[in-house]
Amino acid sequence: MIRFENVSKVYADETHAVDGVDLEIEKGEFFVIIGPSGCGKTTLLKMINRLIKLTDGTIFIDEKRISDYNIHELRWNIGYVLQQIALFPHMTIAENIAIVPEMKKWKQEETDARIDELLEMVGLDAKTYRDRLPHELSGGQQQRIGVVRALAADPDIILMDEPFSALDPISREKLQEDILDLQKKINKTIIFVTHDMSEALKLADRVCIMKEGNVVQLGTPKEIVQHPSNEFVRTFVGDKKQGLDQLLDVKSIMKSPENENEGLPSISVNSHPKSVLEALTENDRILIIDKGKTIGVIDRKTVFAHLAHQQDRGEVHA
C-alpha cells in the first residue's frame, strides 16, 4: 500500500537524514520504526504526507506517486500524530478534534458524536473535557487528544511519531491496547515511531530498525529478537532474547476465535512472548491478531500449562 523506492532526504545543510530507503508497507499493517535519536525516523514519516519534500526517489500510496495526489486529499486521508504536542491553544478540545471532519464537511451531529466517542475511547469524560482549552489539560491528556485527533476523520493511514512518550506506564499500556484494538477492528495501516523496544515488540507486525538514515533490519518482532542481523541490532534489542522465545509459539497453542470473544484485549501474533505473558497476567483471555484480523484466542490456563510442561522437560532457562 505504501512503497518507498530509493528515497533520500538531504537537508539544505547537507545532512543526509534518509539515505536510499526501499520499503514496502502492507495495507492493515502495524509497522513500527525504531532507532536512535537523529537516525531519520521523523524525516521518513513526514515525507509520506509531504510535510517534507523528498530529495530523491519516490513514495507510492496505492500505486500512485504521492506527488500526484491533491495535497488536501493526501493530508486528510493520513492521520498524523506529531512528536511534540501540537494542539491549537485557542481552540477547545472539541474544536481541535473536529478540524479534519469539518474540512471534510461532516454533518455537525456526526462530528459531535465522533468527538464524544474518541474522548471516551482514551478515558476522558466527554462532558468534562470537550469545552476545555488545551492548557487546562495535563501533558499526558493533551497527548491523548493528539492521538485521537489523528483518528477523527477515519483516515486509512495513521502516522504516529512517538505518540505515547509523555504518558505514565498505565495510560501508555491502555492506549497501546486501544490502538491495537482499533487497528484490528478497522484495518488501519499504522506507521508508528518509538524509541522503546518493548513497545515496538508489543505493537508491531513488523519492526524496521534504522541507523543513520538507513534501514538496518526489517522483520517481525520474533525475527528481530531471534536473529538480529548485526551487533547494532543485538545491542538495540538488548536482552529481550530469552528462553521463552522458542517456547511460546502463540500460533501453535491458540484456539480458533468465537463470537463471544469480541471486546477482549488483543495482541499481535508477532508480539514478544513476554508481552503475551504480561497481557495474560491482567486478562484471562486475549485475542491474537495478524494484520488487523483476529486469528485466534489464547487463555491463561492453557499458556501456563504449556510452559509448565516445557519446564518439566527442562527447556526453560529464563
Q: Where are the alpha helices (DSSP H) in the chain?
A: 41-48, 71-76, 93-97, 99-103, 108-121, 126-129, 139-151, 169-186, 197-203, 221-226, 231-237, 244-247, 250-253, 273-282, 300-312
The span from the CA of 159 to the CA of 139, in Å, is: 20
Q: Which is nearer to Mg ion, 10 or 277 (CB)?
A: 10
User: Is 43 a binder of Mg ion (CB under 5 A)?
Assistant: no
Neighbours of 5 (CB within 10 A): 15
**Given 4, 32, 42, 141, the residue binding Mg ion (CB under 5 A):** 42
User: Is 109 a binder of ligand ATP (CB under 6 A)?
Assistant: no
Nearest Cα to Cα of residue 149 among 92, 72, 70, 66 = 92
User: Is 111 a binder of ligand ATP (CB under 6 A)?
Assistant: no
* Total of residues contacting Mg ion (CB under 5 A): 2
User: Is 197 a binder of ligand ATP (CB under 6 A)?
Assistant: no
**Given 29, 32, 43, 82, the residue binding ligand ATP (CB under 6 A):** 43
**Given 2, 41, 188, 202, the residue binding ligand ATP (CB under 6 A):** 41
In the complex, the smallest distance separating the C-beta of residue 48 from ligand ATP, rounded to whole angstroms, is 13
User: Is 42 a binder of ligand ATP (CB under 6 A)?
Assistant: yes
Contacting residues for 258 by C-beta, under 8 A, at least 6 apart: 297
The span from the CA of 220 to the CA of 168, in Å, is: 27
User: Is 274 a binder of ligand ATP (CB under 6 A)?
Assistant: no
Backbone angles phi, psi at 298, to 5 degrees: -125, 150
Cα–Cα distances in angstroms (integers) from residue 136 to residues 93, 169, 232, 295, in the given order: 10, 22, 43, 42
User: Is 37 a binder of ligand ATP (CB under 6 A)?
Assistant: yes
Q: Which is nearer to Mg ion, 18 or 25 (CB)?
A: 18
Query: 57 in the Ramachandran plot: left (φ > 0), alpha (ψ -120 to 50) or beta?
Result: left
**Given 2, 4, 8, 17, the residue binding ligand ATP (CB under 6 A):** 17
> What strand order describes the sheet that includes 266-268?
266-268, 285-290, 293-299
Residue type, 297: V
User: Is 142 a binder of Mg ion (CB under 5 A)?
Assistant: no
Residue 139's binding partner out of Mg ion, ligand ATP, none, with CB under 5 to 8 Å set by partner kind: none
Q: Which of residues 76-105 bind Mg ion (CB under 5 A)?
A: 83
Q: Which is nearer to ligand ATP, 43 or 96 (CB)?
A: 43
Among 36-44, 55-63, 290-298, 302-310, the segment contacting ligand ATP (CB under 6 A)? 36-44
User: Is 13 a binder of ligand ATP (CB under 6 A)?
Assistant: yes
Q: Which is nearer to ligand ATP, 83 or 198 (CB)?
A: 83
Chain residues binding ligand ATP by CB under 6 A are 11, 13, 15, 17, 37-43, 83
Chain residues binding Mg ion by CB under 5 A are 42, 83
